[in-house]
Structure 1
């Protein structure tokens, strides 16, 4: 028995047998990927080349324009550099031991000095009017002026420079003017500034700035014929009181109080050079004459303080001393300033402990005056304000230097006091020629 394979079976399984015998696998190479990669690398390299080319072009253009600019600057004429030299002003001359600014050097050493402080609210016009009236007063012929500012401003330096220049020009023109006119050519007495010195009396040098040789620029001008006027110097409060001594006792220290912390260093360095000292507020008071004339023969411990009074609604008069003007001998003013500084510290500590407002300068000074024990070494003189005047509504004779008044207090009338004073000044021939702002008053009149 056997199982034979028939032709039908062979034919029936022929296909299956052939199909199961093997597999046919066809692999295609990644032709598309190989084509994309070279394109991608090509664009990357092209972008790098473009960036390098842009960088090279930018550097080349920068070098080209820099070279062109240097050539243009070098080709400019030499006269174009003159304005740049004018901008580079020489360093300012210090007033005293590396501090302050010497705005005007006087013609000699003076016996008196005026310490004028400017509050934070002082404007350029107020400073200009104070300087203009002071420089024309008899006091300017025998005293130096020390200005104390809260901070230095270019406008203040410009005003000081202009006013000192105007005054020098007025003195020069007054010498040349003839005395045939019935009306004087200038609005103030120039005699104190033009007094000749005796030959045997040598003129000593001012203490401000460096010692220099006198420059006799005029024809036939000698040391004895030079005009007499004091120096003008200016300081900042940070120079005289760098630590702001009163700031530890009060939140805000106004200029009216901080000035008392600036006086000790100034008075300590010039105490042997002056006989009399005047403390004055620029904003409220102007000097038109010499207020020390009546008190110059007093001892050096003496102090003159002005007193004012006011009436209340009930008709009761109240009197108080005025801190805006204090004058006297050097020793007395020094002692008062030291006592005032200590009183400010003591009062501020008490007010801070009680959580009260800081006392004003006038209150502290009035309490100090009433304490005879503190001012035992001071010869105190209190005078009424009969020697003081306000600017009237008309042209004021107070400003000509021939009246009996020495002080002018601003702000007591509802007028522009500076304009009234300028009308009086500009009515004189020489003054109207020198001061530029006189043209405005002449056109208005």
Structure 2
């Protein structure tokens, strides 16, 4: 059907307006008029009155559909092109971001943009110490006869732990003893503190012998004592052992059997000497007392009581590996010397206790110190079993269970000779030295703190009620040599 101008009567105004709209649409697409054969112009019949009628353009419905189809197709094509363009743009941006993310800047730029190191940014992971339990901080050079078990109560700070371990290393007792920490719970800050002190100790050892080697070259390789050239309170010779004695002592029980030597000196010394130091390990109370056996009797079991539930299993596992054991509370005590030498000729059942300083008269019985106990492994294990039984008995009979004092219970147990009849209990007549009294002696006699041999006269020091800063008290003792400042950052 063609499109043409047809006369319309004025009767139907609605039809006229519609036809005018169609005509306007036809005019709006002038190019389609030539290309589309469906469009044609034609005149109306001559019989009609042409003078009274107006000529309006008209076109068929088929032409309208064709126009609509072409418009819709053009719109879809434009829409598809836009969609494709957006997709291509997104793919390009993705590839650009991927390229930038995989780009590695130069070392100089990388160092500038590297964030500052935090003190405890990463959690250290340590191999198990024994039978899949515990943490091995350092494996010793040989098997030791003595074991130091240091329990860490809840109020111990990182600084207190570091100072305890530093003085323990410098005392020389770690040259023939392993160190075992018992924590109430794991702490990454404590792990870092122990690792830091172990590294400082090895720096101290290697530094002294490196200095000694250089001094020997200056003196034509003449024999000399390392402490001769360095005015220090630390004696490194106590950590030296012959290779023959080392082989006789066997391998440490902690961790895997990996042979590591710390050598020093010339080729002759390498074949004759080795460094001798013990292992450093730690365990959680839950590893020795997984059921928390005292929790059924107390609402909260403090570390001072729960440690007694850990000792039987611990000492039972290592009873064949050690001869002597020392139990110490690191919150209250500092080890400055070797107390275990007193056990040299004692029986395995022997246990030595120190008394606490008191204002009581000499005739009255002094209380014993439950925070520092040493003896044969067999004797200490029996004492621990008896103390655990005493704690349970006292808690069940006491009206106020949570007010039970560990020190009071221990003194009651020591007074009961029948319960401890299988333990050779020895109570020392000398009281544990207080930190304040030692400070007074060092101030009155400056030479006392300048020699490791003089300070070793006080094998154990108790903090007591003193608020003295330990680091300031032992500053001169710990930082008496230039080599000390190399090993310790706070010197």
TM-score by length of 2: 0.70
Q: List alignment gaps of at least 5 residues for structure 2.
A: 1-75, 77-82, 216-223
User: Which residue of 394, 405, 416 corresponds with 1:360?
Assistant: 405
The answer to which of 212-221 and 276-285 deviates more is: 212-221
Comparing 181-190 with 378-387, greater Cα deviation is found at 181-190
Kindly name which structure, 1 or 2, has the bigger radius of gyration based on alpha carbons: 2
In the other structure, the counterpart of 1:327 is 374
User: Are 1:95 and 2:111 counterparts?
Assistant: no
Give the drift of 1:61.
Answer: 8.3
Q: Tell me the equivalent position of 2:73.
A: none
Separation in 2, partners of 1:228, 1:269: 24
User: How far apart are 1:199 and its partner, in Å?
Assistant: 6.9
Task: Give CA deviations for 1:96-137 in whole Å, capped at 9, x if unaligned.
Answer: 011111101100000000000111111111001100000111
CA shift, 1:239, in A, is: 1.9
Task: Quote the Cα distance in structure 2 between the aligned partners of 1:276 and 1:359.
Answer: 30
Greater shift, 276-285 or 294-303, is seen at: 294-303
Deviation of the 1:235 alpha carbon: 1.1
Pair 205,223 (structure 1): closer, same or farther in 2 beyond 3 Å: farther
Match of 1:381 among 403, 426, 435: 426
List per-residue Cα deviations over 1:216-244 (Å, max 9, x = no partner): 66563646411111000011112222221
1:428 aligns with 481
- Post-superposition shift, 1:417? 2.5
Per-residue Cα deviation, 1:71-112 (whole angstroms, up to 9, x for no partner)? 22222259669x89x998885211001111110110000000
Match of 2:468 in 1: 415
Confirm whether residue 369 of structure 1 aligns to residue 414 of structure 2.
yes
Rate the CA distance shift 1:432–1:200 in 2: closer, same or farther, 3 A. closer
Following superposition, the deviation at residue 206 of structure 1 comes to 0.3
The reply to whether residue 209 of structure 1 matches residue 255 of structure 2 is yes
1:91–1:420 CA distance, 2 compared to 1 (3 A):
closer
Distance 1:428 1:368, change over 3 A: same
Structure 2 residue corresponding to 1:174, chosen from 198, 208, 217: 208
Per-residue deviation at 1:213? 2.6
Pick from 152, 160, 168 the counterpart of residue 194 of structure 2: 160
- The alpha-carbon distance between structure 1 residues 247 and 356, as it changes in their structure 2 partners (threshold 3 A), is closer
After superposition, the Cα gap between the structure-2 partners of 1:274 and 1:380, relative to the gap in structure 1 and judged at 3 Å, is: same
Change (3 A) 1:315 1:198: closer
Whole-angstrom distance in 2 between the partners of 1:343 and 1:326: 17
Q: Encode CA deviations 1:409-436: one digit per residue, 9 max, x unaligned.
A: 2245442232111232112232123211
2:268 matched to 1:268?
no
SS of 2:343 mapped into structure 1: coil
Moved more, 386-395 or 362-371: 386-395
CA distance in 1, matches of 2:125, 2:423: 42
SS in 2 for 1:212: coil
Residue aligning to 2:384: 337
In structure 2, the residue matched to 1:397 is: 448
Contact 2:261/2:275 (<8 A) preserved: no
- Residue in 1 aligned with 2:139? 105
Residue 188 of structure 1: aligned partner: 234
1:148 aligns to what SS in structure 2?
A: strand
Residues 268 and 322 (structure 1), Cα distance of their counterparts in 2 relative to 1, 3 Å cut = same
Bigger drift between 425-434 and 158-167 goes to 425-434
Query: Within 2, Cα distance between the matches of 1:62 and 1:371?
Result: 85
Q: Take 1:200 and 1:65, find their aligned partners in 2: how far apart are those partners? A: 67
Alignment check: 8 A CA contact 2:414 2:420 kept: yes
Separation of aligned partners in 2, 1:380 and 1:400: 33
Q: 1:70 aligns with which of 98, 102, 112?
A: 98
Shift in Å at residue 281 of structure 1? Answer: 0.4
1:202 CA drift (Å): 3.5
> What count of residue pairs does the alignment treat as equivalent?
383
Structure 1 unpaired stretches of 5+: 1-48, 50-54, 439-445
Distance 1:399 1:140, change over 3 A: farther
1:307 correspondence with 2:307: no
**Distance in 2 between the 1:254 and 1:326 partners?**
19
Aligned-partner Cα distance in 2 for 1:302–1:343: 20
